[in-house]
Amino acid sequence: MSNISIEDIKKLKELSGVGLTDAKQALVEAKGDFDKALEAMRKKGLTKAEKRGDRETREGLIESYVHDGRIGAIIEVNCETSFVAKTDEFKDLAHKLAMQVASMSPLYVSAEDIPEDAMKAKKKEFEENFKGPEKMKDQILGGQVKKAFADKVLLEQPYILDDSKTVAEFIKDAIAKTGENITVRQFKRIELGVTE
């Protein structure tokens, strides 16, 4: 315990969103290794974030982002309480998600939002050119369809400010920090001179 400083405990508490006791315990378990303790706390926080995923989100805000007067995005990001919705962290999250929409031009929030007929049409397209083993056909086609839509689904896109994680993982990090479920309800992207 002698190699664990109160500064490290406070820093771990701040970065992971856990209480002082949990932060201290994590440092003790990691034998004073700050990075190891932080990783353990993040995993715990993300596990808790997964559990929060079912809680209802009725508060939040609508954020916009305009790039160079040529591309604009507006997004509705929801959370559980108006208290969290008013924090600078939540506003920053919403702003970064609006930037993601402007930059990466997704069509859907999640894979569940992709219309069934669009999925079937894409599968049929791949089926016509299929040359793999017949017994693996369904598995291969399913993978190809998922991959074809991955860059069009906001939550599955690589996060533009840290491509080591997806947008969904970026949001889970925010859930772990705020202690509230956070969802994206809808978005709209507009580009000068381009109509849908």
Same domain, 101 and 157: yes
Same domain, 142 and 158: no
Whether the pLDDT of residue 23 is over 50: the answer is yes
Number of structural domains found in the chain: 3
At residue 17, the 3 state secondary structure works out as coil
How confident is the model at residue 1, as a pLDDT? 47
Mean pLDDT of the chain: 84
Length of the chain: 196
Can you give the pTM of this predicted structure? 0.67
Asked whether 59 and 80 are in contact (CB, 8 A), the reply is: yes
Single-letter amino acid code for the residue at 61:
L
Which range marks the domain in which residue 18 is found?
6-52
Alpha-carbon span 166 to 118, nearest angstrom: 23
Burial classification of residue 8, based on how many CB atoms lie within 10 Å of its CB (0-12 exposed, 13-18 middle, 19 or more buried): middle
CATH number of the domain encompassing residue 175: 3.30.479.20
Compute the half-sphere exposure of residue 64: CA atoms within 13 Å on the CB side of its CA. Answer: 5
Whether the pLDDT of residue 42 is over 70: the answer is no
Same domain, 164 and 95: yes
Alpha-carbon span 77 to 93, nearest angstrom: 9
